[in-house]
């Protein structure tokens, strides 16, 4: 169940970040509630992830890395933010790092 919570935490953190981008520095007030709600849900799900026993290093590492990669990809699609080949390589390295963290956690457990 911890992985389900973690995936939810990642998705809501990304939603909060993208909502913040859409708010244009909170000049578009309609986005304040989605930002706050998304981050509240994300941190609640991350807390549940940790309560289920996933180590904080693994959970936070995967949460932050996947959040960065997914935000970059979706922001490119929604807001036309840049996504260069070098950034793409960084995303590939993030995915590799996440896999290594997961494999390392399995070996330890």
Q: Which residue range forms the structural domain that includes residue 35?
A: 2-108
What's the pTM value of the predicted model, to 2 decimals? 0.91
Q: Total structural domains in the chain?
A: 1
Q: Are 54 and 109 in contact (CB under 8 A)?
A: no
- Give the per-residue pLDDT at 62: 93
* Integer CA distances (angstroms), 5 to 14, 25, 40, 52, 75, in order: 14, 29, 13, 9, 23
Measured in whole angstroms, the distance separating CA 16 from the mean position of its chain's CA atoms is 10
Which segment of 66-70, 87-91, 98-102 scores lowest on mean pLDDT?
98-102
**What pLDDT score was predicted for residue 106?**
85
């Amino acid at each position: 169940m911890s992985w389900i919570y973690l995936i939810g935490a990642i998705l809501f953190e990304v939603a909060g970040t993208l909502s913040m981008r859409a708010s244009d520095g909170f000049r578009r007030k309609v986005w304040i509630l989605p930002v706050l709600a998304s981050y509240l849900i994300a941190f609640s799900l991350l807390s549940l992830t940790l309560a289920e026993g996933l180590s904080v290093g693994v959970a936070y590492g995967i949460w932050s890395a996947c959040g960065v990669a997914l935000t970059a990809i979706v922001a490119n699609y929604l807001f036309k933010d840049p996504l260069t080949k070098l950034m793409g390589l960084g995303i590939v390295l993030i995915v590799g790092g996440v896999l290594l963290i997961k494999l390392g956690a399995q070996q330890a457990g």
